[in-house]
């Protein structure tokens, strides 16, 4: 098959911890899993910017209920239904149900002869307002992390702030480590009482 006819999916890299941990191209572990699933299904995936720099991924151990990084994918020469099916299966395995758009921020852009059409993870069209709101999540997470560096953590061994899903609500602290695979957020302690209660009741995520 000629190279130009191979379907491509392009996932945009984003490092929300850039202000303290510059690490080249960074994607979330969820985005990495999705890329692997798509490749295992026979589809080619590029992590942008495709500049040859090292690819790192973030692992946020123990905080999947609290952190849901946006995932931005561009689909080229490939039916969106194929991608939606793969995403739906993966999301159902993770959530034990199909999550709604308030719980998951996956932005799918389809390039149709130079025109971009946007969809959510279920294949429903996204409005321009929702599209811009998801894009702002990338900037918001990086900004709130940078601003949080001015806050004195209650435990100096856990200097990295934990925010509640897509909000500016600070609910805990953890440690960040950088290794050969990327950035790992672990040793998390949730300090916000209402968040602890909701987590115990299973009403988060």
User: What span, in angstroms and rounded, lies between the C-alpha atoms of 22 and 134?
Assistant: 23
Q: What is the pLDDT along the chain (205 residues), one digit of tens a residue?
A: 344 455 689 999 887 777 777 767 888 888 888 999 999 988 999 999 888 888 888 776 555 555 557 889 999 888 899 999 999 998 888 878 878 777 778 899 998 777 889 999 999 999 888 888 888 877 887 887 788 778 888 888 888 888 776 566 788 888 887 777 677 777 788 888 887 787 777 666 5
pLDDT value for 2: 42
92: which residues sit within 8 A by CB, 6+ positions away? 98
Pair 41, 84: CB distance under 8 Å: no
In the DSSP assignment, the letter for residue 64 is: T
pLDDT value for 166: 56
User: What span, in angstroms and rounded, lies between the C-alpha atoms of 157 and 193?
Assistant: 21
In 3-state terms, the chain is what percent helix, strand and coil (to 5)?
Answer: 30, 30, 40
193: enclosing H helix or E strand: helix 193-201
Question: What Å distances lie between residue 175 and 56, 70, 162, 169, CA to CA?
Answer: 17, 22, 10, 18
């Amino acid at each position: 098959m000629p190279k130009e006819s191979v379907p491509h999916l392009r996932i945009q890299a984003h490092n929300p911890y850039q202000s303290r941990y510059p690490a080249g191209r960074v994607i979330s572990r969820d985005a990495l899993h999705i890329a692997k699933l798509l490749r295992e299904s026979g589809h080619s995936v590029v992590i942008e910017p495709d500049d040859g720099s090292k690819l790192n991924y973030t692992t946020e151990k123990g905080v999947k209920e609290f952190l849901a990084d946006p995932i931005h994918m561009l689909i080229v020469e490939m039916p969106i239904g194929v991608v939606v099916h793969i995403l739906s299966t993966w999301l159902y395995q993770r959530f034990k149900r199909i999550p709604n758009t308030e719980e998951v921020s996956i932005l799918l852009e389809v390039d149709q002869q130079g025109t971009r059409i946007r969809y959510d993870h279920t294949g429903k069209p996204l409005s321009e307002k929702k599209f811009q709101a998801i894009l702002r999540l990338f900037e918001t997470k990086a900004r709130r992390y940078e601003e949080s560096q001015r806050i004195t953590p209650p435990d100096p061994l856990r200097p990295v702030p934990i925010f509640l899903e897509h909000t500016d609500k600070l609910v805990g602290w953890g440690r960040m480590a950088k290794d050969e695979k990327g950035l790992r957020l672990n040793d998390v302690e949730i300090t916000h009482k209402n968040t602890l209660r909701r987590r115990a009741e299973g009403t988060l995520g």
